[in-house]
Chain A
């Protein structure tokens, strides 16, 4: 990709913003750093993930901020970098910090994010729009890091709530070989306890033959068990999971990372004005908006909403405001979104989707919480060691 490895100022704001600004004019520069490790070869390579997932969402967030900012004499600029590797991502961070950029959105793996948070210290505020690892939210919270991408626990809690609601309580869990797969499966095991599910079979995926030739023969045997209500797949990168539906021993639905599953965002979400966001995104990028795009968009809109409310763009004031009662993000999910003060996670409903339709949007009615139903998804305050605010 041409934009790899160098600073690029995205000219998403329009010409009329370049008129001489008055004394009260406010310019806000936001950095975006993306580094996605190679996922390795996958069996299911029919629909590869877009390489610019995240970046395009960030660009739309900037455009939305500017459309609002033009009435308030505020302009937003995005500096985005697609890094080649972890070192490159760190070097980019140094670069941006040196250039005085103190608001950053990242789509990088958890390890890189940890290093970045440490390096940035009190010089920047980071928005994690890429790493779903629960440890970042329960043990290793950083005061300078907020999370707009849902954690694995939020995703699997949403799924488990729904399985409970459907009374499909006995499930067959298949876990892939990667660290992400294991983290997803661990989160699901926790969710199954919280929402009264029973994992009747818990099997790691170990086959290495090409399922496109043998799926119909291998999977029925692999999913043999006396009975279960649903099969749950933990295959985060999309290796074998697409071949599980319709190939199970028993005629049962497949849910999880494939089949029907939880997402931060998906093209089938259209209620609560989402159709308009989907249209704007499609026009900007020529493709459908996904969870990474949404997380980056939500981070930049969080900044925009805050700057509108504050009329200033200092990192510390923004952080204070984000955790205050004044902050509320309208983000097309039917409720106002806010940040959890203990770990900086953006609370949000989680759509459960299949490729062509929306099934439900947890938190579901009946799962109660004394503060907000949204906190029935993910690690709640008493379950987290963190208190970053």
Chain B
């Protein structure tokens, strides 16, 4: 998501329509059916918004006016208007939407339907279902490359990445990775893709041009049993310096050198860390910790955890609106 930061800050500079607030973080609370809104200046929860059942994946529209929410148990994607904080619409999503990704055209939403083993592509303006693509068992992670050419889906039980051509909506290649792949993140230039494998305990680096794996990253945390080290969310800084990898029930976030792929450090956060997002200046990283029901804030320059913020039950996803 950070791939749009430059555009975002540009948009923020031009646009005066946004409310003059500090940057806000939105956190989906899977077992509370709410979103927590965090003011990233004060790092306090300033609002809690009721949403549909079992909210998991959340993402911002490219113009930062709307938030899309996978309400998994309601089998729908909800559209939240950020100005009024009201649900203004729902999109057809297929069954049990878990994660999704928006094409840079701001219209094509790629939704992983976990129970149905398909990826549904919806036009968010017309609400038309443009395609339903058969993928492996339990599709989970979804990412669209910043150049708009590739949509990549991870299927957890099939342990594969499905590379979908966004022109044809057809799978062009399937690549087997470690067990239970969860998340894919592209670099800003769309040349490299990072994919996490939760049970495999690995992160796989792909050259997007050739769709070949070029590197595998392993993790080892002193004092933590190896089978508790379970990579889930990945976040890349836009300067190409760091990758942050949420390591699930090991309760740590790995800091990886995004050029050499060496692991630099492990930061202790809350219990079962899942997803993460950088704030607008990329000075702070926010992580959702499902089991401890809080959000950890990491100072990116110091690589230190500076605060934990209590949110709703089982926080799942986090996105930060850079324009607010």
Interface set of A (CB-CB < 8 Å, partner B): 64, 67-68, 70-72, 273, 276, 279-280, 283, 301, 305, 308-309, 328-330, 334-336, 372-374
Contact = CB atoms under 8 A, between A and B. Distances in A.
Interface in B129-174: 134, 136-138, 155-160, 162, 171, 174
9 nearest A-B pairs in the assembled complex, by CB-CB distance? A68-B158, A330-B199, A330-B179, A330-B180, A71-B174, A335-B227, A67-B137, A336-B199, A64-B137
Contacts of A68: 136-137, 155, 157-160
B201 interface: yes
A71 B115 contact: no
Contacts of B82: none
A334 B230 CA distance: 9
B159 A280 contact: no
A242 to B, nearest CB: 31
B99 to A, nearest CB: 13
A71 B227 contact: no
Interface of B: 96, 114-115, 117, 134, 136-138, 155-160, 162, 171, 174, 176, 178-180, 198-201, 225-228, 249
Given A68-B157, A276-B138, A336 B200 contact: yes
Contacts of B156: 273, 276, 330
Contacts of B96: 276, 279
Nearest to B290: A271
Given A336-B199, A336-B201, A330 B158 contact: no
Given A64-B157, A67-B136, A68-B158, A276 B174 contact: no
Contacts, number: 70
Nearest to A347: B227
B271 to A, nearest CB: 11
Nearest to A67: B137
Given A64-B157, A305-B179, A373-B225, A72 B174 contact: yes
Contacts of B227: 335-336, 372, 374
A211 B134 CA distance: 54
A71 B136 contact: yes
A276 B158 CA distance: 13
A248 to B, nearest CB: 34
A279 B174 CA distance: 25
Given A68-B136, A308-B159, A328 B179 contact: yes
A276 B160 contact: no
Nearest to B314: A271
Nearest to A16: B134
Given A67-B117, A276-B115, A335-B227, A330 B157 contact: yes
A305 B134 CA distance: 20
A328 B179 CA distance: 7
Contacts of B158: 67-68, 71, 308
A328 B199 contact: yes
A239 B136 CA distance: 43
B136 A329 contact: no
B114 to A, nearest CB: 5
Contacts of A334: 249
A279 B179 contact: no
Nearest to B73: A275
B159 A372 contact: no
Given A71-B174, A279-B115, A328 B160 contact: no
B56 to A, nearest CB: 11
Contacts of A72: 174, 176
